Amino acid sequence: MNYIPPDIMCAQDYELLAPDFIAPDRFAYIAGGSGHDATLRHNRTSFSDLSVVPRVLRNVEQGSTTTDLLGQQLQHPILLAPVAYQTLVHPDGEIATAYAARSTDSCMVASTLSSKTLEDIAEHAGPERWFQLYFQPDFNDTKNLLNRAVAVGYRAIVVTLDAAVQQPSRRALSANFSFPDDVQAANLVAQGPSTADPINPRHIFKRYMQNVPTREQLAWLIEKSPVPVLIKGVLHQDDALELKALGAAGVIVSNHGGRTLDGVPASLAMLPSIRAAVGDDFPLLLDSGIRSGGDIFKAIALGADAVLIGRLQVYALSVAGALGVAHMLKLLREELELTMAVAGCSSLDDIKTADMNRVLLTPKQETRSC
């Protein structure tokens, strides 16, 4: 589709339309979380359990969503999360997403498991682009990915630590989802045979350790990388403090959209304690569960400097390609600006001192944000 459907009235509407554009088994894989989706649901209710308190007699005429992150001036705090295998929902995949990021002055975080190469994505994305890095079983392959990303202008590296193993999604299994032969991790196809010791796939502990870096490897990467290194997948304040001490440039509070272990806390629920631990000046970002500009406001109010958008990005891509992703970002920014205005906040710093009220909503009340 090369136009915006008239049914789209807010960013979350892309989620409602996506099943009409994505094959059922693929939608089950994308929309589902791990296990019984408990964490997936908690990610949403953690936002709906909070309400924004309006303020009056506040002059917000000069309001702005601009922010400085890692020394980079961003027009808004909304980043596109590293979502893998985007050709599952659109033939242009990450290239279309890159176009959308560039057209909206948005920072795109390209995935190691993208279905287009990181070089092709960089060619079409704007100047604000980061690369998400999964450590490979062969550390030389990890170094090669880092060097490739730096060579084509990615301005930060995001190391994901929380997805070494994943609990299967009952929703995807029930839908009989399997990866089609023509969808692959384009960045990894040229890798040679791994020099890591082969392991029995049933040996969970060994498989876990083969897919995560050692402390020494992570420290090496942070020290040698010519661009800032952030760590994604942190939910405990002590881990955040250890990563800060190790030299990480920032932390992304995330439970991988509820796709690793079912039953872990919502990302938003853990954000305040992590912010309290690392202090006000350490960059903290958040993903998992965001569906509206109001949600973005709440995340910033609880301690985030910026947020990353995952599933909504894919839903918008499936509906209208690059145009859909750009439109979704535009709507999120407008929804954030509207929430800021009503709450009397003219800057992102103002949001951090905004009043929030905890409410109890029934499941029927938590439907749409517009």
Strand partners, 307: 78, 286
User: CA 319, 179, 171: angle at the middle one, nearest 5?
Assistant: 75
**Is 327 designated active site?**
no
Average pLDDT, integer, range 2-13: 94
370 pLDDT band (50/70/90 cuts)? confident
Predicted pLDDT at 148:
98
Catalytic residue chosen out of the listed positions 42, 124, 256, 327: 256
Average pLDDT, integer, range 217-245: 97
Predicted pLDDT at 162:
84
209 pLDDT band (50/70/90 cuts)? low
Question: In the chain, pLDDT over 70 holds for what percent of residues?
Answer: 91
Predicted pLDDT at 320:
97
Predicted pLDDT at 102:
98
**pTM score of the predicted model:** 0.93
Question: Are 101 and 123 a contacting pair, CB within 8 Å?
Answer: no
Average pLDDT, integer, range 269-292: 97
Is the pLDDT assigned to residue 205 strictly greater than 90? no
Question: Are 129 and 352 a contacting pair, CB within 8 Å?
Answer: no
